[in-house]
């Protein structure tokens, strides 16, 4: 111990001596240990290495949160032997700031788990929480208790949040209150609030944070979620339950979203992946709305690496899919050290300038800009970005700030301050925008994905077809339903008992195969199994088979069972209640599907087909029953020059004696199965009627209906069976039966919600 101590002392001395010739020195582990916790080093003891202390939940590292190894081999801040590093209990800000009331118990300090209760002096009434608990993130739960009495003021008493002081006791119109935080707390949110004519205070109640106070993913998700949703929609667009019709009034103009992710040394490699995935999640969530923003996405340290260029959007050169591809493919090379926040702001300023030049001043007025930063702000080396932010504001506001028609809503700057040691003083002033918090303080990047996942809860979005959760968490039944909310089982208890799969194509209709029914089956014998929170089994009002479906039509031509037009619609007695577990799938040639595919302007059926079936081997899926609900079968549709060979196998099916496979397999069928290039799954009997589908981001589009196959390959109870060389499946291609779908689903003279089919 003594020897190692003197060695490191010697090493330090050597480093000092050689400073003039720029020899890099390693740091030492002396006095680094933390009592009750641990630490990680980003680059061992090499210069530039970042040390991060960690404590258990409810504790935080003290006195330092992080240390950086400097070129001369000393830590910044240096460890102090007389003030050893330890884990301290998380403290909550002092609640004894309540006016006109009492706080119990009165304490010097309040720690995690401490419970406080509040009551008001007589004559005063309480708003807020009468009891609060100090949480592990350093905040009190519930809301600030306020004791007030009716004074006839225009605005209600805005109260005093824990740890704060307020100046201003007049609550009339145009009166101001100012807040500051006591001791070593700092203020997040509105420093100043003004009483408005409508009886509300501007801004939001501020909060006092310690360095160890964080926002939970849930808090961030709610705050940021409501702000970004406001940007993406108007309130009406999500609510179509009342009239049964969809009202979509998206704000006109263009939305530009600029995203910057800090990858400097204070962000670890795994964290980079987390950040990247979180950004992808965010973009996917945004894409579930009917807006198609333009994106500029950069990663930065002391340099800016552009992954997606917004100018490519202006030129129509890039689609959402390639944005996500670019993100996935981006690799961090030999990144430079340091963080140059100002450089990123300048990069975005530059892009905005180009846009303005390109579209002209008039049209630029209709452009809204949302800047989103992920950084801890540490080790900034490019100077303050504030002058750049001022220039950006100037450009977007067009010098109209404060005047009538203020353009503040055209610019939002959000900062997600993430890390063990956040530079709040530098970062918080950079945020701007109306309506809610723009500064979020999070401990770990891992929490981001969860945050963005929760931003847009699929259950809230009523009108969007095919919207689903594209990942699984628990793998249980409900989880599966969230992934395939359009899935239904069709139970036929009529002449031949049979179970098929079907798909919900509107709140009132299920699409399935015609061969699931036998001549003479009555609607009352059919049940639809779907969970929408109501009764699980739904009654059917009407069975509608395709008018051209005729199983025996080609008996004389050598086809015992002819499955052309094997589609049926089932009209439900009651519409299904739409939620995250019960929602229609998108079907071809509807306006909704064009929206889901991000086709802008007046789109055509052909365009949709080109997007969905563009390759001559196109990956599609369908479902099979398997505990806990279903499993997904993975197949390739053979199109173009691959189709002929695929359908030829139809001649191997039992009951087919014709020599021409085209007699049995008309152009209305898609063909899957076989082993060439990919071993497809093969359909089993119970899979009939199910959707053959394709996902496009967070939306699912149905392409076909599972109809018939050449071989009975399935025997086991497990439906996830692979194809043999000769087995093929044939599915009705929905693009070929649009008149039928349109006739019933698009009928706007009925008492159900019609789908809007494209004219061409």
Interface with ligand NAG includes 26 (CB under 6 A)?
Answer: yes
Contact segment (CB under 6 A) with ligand NAG among 187-195, 500-508, 533-541, 549-557 equals 549-557
Instruction: Name the catalytic one among 237, 292, 301, 688.
Output: 688
Q: What minimum distance in Å lies between the beta carbon of 25 and ligand NAG?
A: 5
Site for ligand NAG in 238-297 (CB under 6 A): 239, 241-242, 252-253
**Of all helices (H) and strands (E), which one includes residue 353?**
helix 341-364
Site for ligand NAG in 38-67 (CB under 6 A): 44-46
Interface with ligand NAG includes 100 (CB under 6 A)?
Answer: no
Total binding residues toward ligand NAG, as defined by CB under 6 A:
22
Q: Which residues have CB under 8 Å from 497's CB, separation 6+? A: none
Q: What minimum distance in Å lies between the beta carbon of 147 and ligand NAG?
A: 16
Alpha-carbon gap, residue 78 to 509, rounded angstroms: 69
Among 30, 96, 129, 459, binds ligand NAG (CB under 6 A): 129
Q: Is 515 a catalytic residue?
A: yes
Q: 282: burial class by Cβ within 10 Å (0-12, 13-18, 19+)?
A: buried
- Would you say 194 or 553 has its CB closer to ligand NAG? 553
Q: What minimum distance in Å lies between the beta carbon of 544 and ligand NAG?
A: 15
Q: What minimum distance in Å lies between the beta carbon of 363 and ligand NAG?
A: 7
DSSP codes, 419-442: SSS--HHHHGGG-B-SSS--EEEE
- Would you say 26 or 337 has its CB closer to ligand NAG? 26
Tokens representing 582 are 């019960």
- For ligand NAG, what does the binding mask look like between residues 373 and 402, x meaning CB under 6 A? ------------------------------
Q: What minimum distance in Å lies between the beta carbon of 28 and ligand NAG?
A: 10
Q: b/e for 232-263, b at 16 or more Cβ within 10 A?
A: bbeeebbebeeeeebebeebeebbbbbbbbbb
Among 6, 552, 654, 657, binds ligand NAG (CB under 6 A): 552
Q: Is 726 a catalytic residue?
A: no
Query: How far, rounded to the nearest angstrom, does the alpha carbon of residue 146 sit from its chain's CA centroid?
Result: 36
| Bridge partner residues of 50 (DSSP) | 68
Interface with ligand NAG includes 141 (CB under 6 A)?
Answer: yes
Are 427 and 415 contacting, i.e. CB atoms less than 8 angstroms apart? yes
- Would you say 77 or 739 has its CB closer to ligand NAG? 77
Q: What minimum distance in Å lies between the beta carbon of 226 and ligand NAG?
A: 13
Angle made by CA atoms 264, 266, 270, in degrees to the nearest 5? 85
**Of all helices (H) and strands (E), which one includes residue 395?**
helix 386-397
Among 72, 96, 337, 604, binds ligand NAG (CB under 6 A): 72
Instruction: Name the catalytic one among 215, 566, 595, 729.
Output: 566
Terminal Cα distance for the chain, rounded: 83
Site for ligand NAG in 178-237 (CB under 6 A): none
Interface with ligand NAG includes 658 (CB under 6 A)?
Answer: no
Bond into 303 cis (ω within 30): no
Tokens representing 580 are 């995250």
Q: What minimum distance in Å lies between the beta carbon of 564 and ligand NAG?
A: 11
Q: Is 688 a catalytic residue?
A: yes
- In sequence order, what E strands does 163-303 have? 164-167, 176-181, 186-188, 192-194, 207-209, 254-262, 294-300
Alpha-carbon gap, residue 172 to 151, rounded angstroms: 10
- Would you say 200 or 241 has its CB closer to ligand NAG? 241
- The CB-nearest residue to ligand NAG is 142
Q: Which residues are catalytic?
A: 515, 566, 688
Contacts with ligand NAG by CB under 6 A lie at 16, 25-26, 44-46, 70, 72, 74, 129, 133, 141-142, 239, 241-242, 252-253, 366, 550, 552-553
């Amino acid at each position: 111990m003594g020897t190692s101590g003197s060695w490191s002392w010697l090493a330090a001395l050597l480093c000092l001596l050689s400073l003039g010739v720029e020899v890099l020195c390693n740091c030492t582990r002396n006095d680094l240990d933390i009592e009750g916790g641990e630490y990680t080093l980003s680059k061992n003891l090499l210069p530039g290495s970042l040390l991060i202390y960690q404590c258990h939940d409810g504790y935080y590292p003290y006195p330092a949160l992080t240390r950086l190894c400097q070129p001369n081999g000393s830590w910044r801040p240096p460890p102090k032997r007389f003030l050893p590093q330890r884990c301290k209990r998380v403290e909550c800000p002092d609640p004894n700031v309540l006016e006109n009331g009492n706080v119990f118990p009165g304490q010097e300090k309040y720690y995690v788990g401490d419970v406080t209760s509040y009551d008001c002096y007589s004559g005063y009434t309480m708003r807020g929480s009468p009891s609060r608990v100090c949480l592990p993130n350093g905040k009190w739960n519930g809301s600030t208790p306020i004791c007030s009495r009716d004074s006839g003021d225009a605005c209600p008493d805005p109260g005093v949040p824990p740890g704060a002081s307020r100046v201003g006791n007049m609550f009339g119109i145009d009166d101001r209150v100012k807040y500051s935080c006591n001791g070593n707390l700092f203020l997040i949110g509105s420093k100043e609030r003004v009483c408005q004519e409508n009886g509300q205070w501007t801004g939001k109640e501020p909060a006092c944070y310690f360095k160890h106070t964080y926002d939970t993913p849930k808090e961030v998700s709610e705050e940021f979620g409501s702000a970004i949703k406001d940007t993406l929609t108007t309130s009406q667009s999500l609510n179509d339950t009342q009239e049964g019709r969809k009202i979509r009034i998206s704000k006109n103009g263009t939305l530009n979203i600029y995203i910057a992710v800090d990858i400097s040394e204070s962000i670890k490699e795994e964290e980079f992946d987390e950040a990247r995935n979180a950004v992808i999640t965010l973009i996917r969530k945004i894409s579930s709305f009917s807006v198609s923003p333009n994106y500029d996405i950069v990663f930065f340290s002391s340099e800016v690496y552009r992954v997606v260029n917004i100018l490519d959007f202006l030129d129509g050169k890039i689609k959402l899919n390639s944005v996500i591809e670019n993100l996935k493919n981006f690799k961090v090379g030999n990144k430079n050290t340091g963080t140059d926040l100002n450089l990123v702001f300048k990069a975005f300023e530059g892009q905005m300038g180009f846009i303005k030049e390109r579209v002209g001043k008039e049209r630029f007025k209709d452009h809204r800009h949302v800047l989103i930063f992920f950084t801890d702000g540490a080790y900034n080396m490019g100077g303050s970005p504030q002058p750049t932010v001022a220039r950006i504001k100037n450009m977007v506001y067009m010098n109209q700030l404060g005047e009538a028609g203020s353009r503040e809503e055209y610019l939002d700057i959000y900062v997600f301050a993430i890390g063990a040691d956040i530079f709040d003083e530098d970062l918080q002033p950079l945020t701007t925008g109306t309506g809610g918090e723009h500064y979020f303080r999070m401990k770990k990047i891992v929490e981001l994905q969860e945050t963005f996942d929760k931003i847009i809860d699929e259950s809230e979005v009523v009108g969007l077809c095919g919207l689903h959760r594209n990942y699984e968490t628990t793998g249980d039944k409900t989880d599966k339903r969230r992934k395939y909310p359009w899935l239904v089982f069709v139970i036929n208890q009529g002449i031949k008992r049979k179970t098929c799969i079907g798909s919900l194509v509107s709140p009132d209709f299920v699409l399935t195969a015609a061969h699931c029914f036998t001549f003479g089956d009555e609607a009352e014998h059919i049940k639809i199994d779907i969970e929408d929170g109501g009764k699980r089994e739904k009654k059917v009002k009407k069975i509608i088979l395709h008018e051209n479906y005729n199983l025996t039509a080609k008996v004389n031509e050598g086809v015992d069972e002819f499955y052309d037009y094997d589609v049926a619609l089932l009209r439900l007695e009651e519409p299904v209640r739409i939620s995250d577990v019960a929602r229609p799938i998108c079907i071809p040639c509807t306006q909704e599907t064009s929206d889901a595919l991000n086709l802008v302007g007046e789109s055509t059926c052909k365009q949709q087909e080109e997007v969905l079936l563009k390759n001559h081997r196109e990956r599609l899926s369908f479902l099979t029953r398997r505990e806990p609900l279903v499993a997904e079968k993975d197949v390739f549709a053979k199109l173009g020059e691959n189709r002929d060979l695929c359908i030829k196998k139809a001649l191997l099916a039992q009951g087919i004696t014709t020599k021409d496979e085209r007699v049995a397999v008309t152009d209305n069928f898609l063909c899957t199965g076989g082993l060439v290039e990919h071993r497809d799954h093969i359909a089993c009997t119970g899979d009939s009627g199910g959707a053959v589908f394709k996902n496009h981001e967070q939306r699912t589009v149905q392409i076909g209906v599972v109809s018939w196959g050449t071989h009975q390959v399935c025997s086991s109870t497990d439906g996830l069976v692979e194809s043999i060389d000769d087995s093929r499946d044939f599915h009705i291609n929905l693009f070929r039966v649009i008149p039928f779908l349109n006739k019933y689903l698009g009928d706007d003279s009925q008492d159900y919600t019609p789908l809007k089919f494209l004219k061409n």
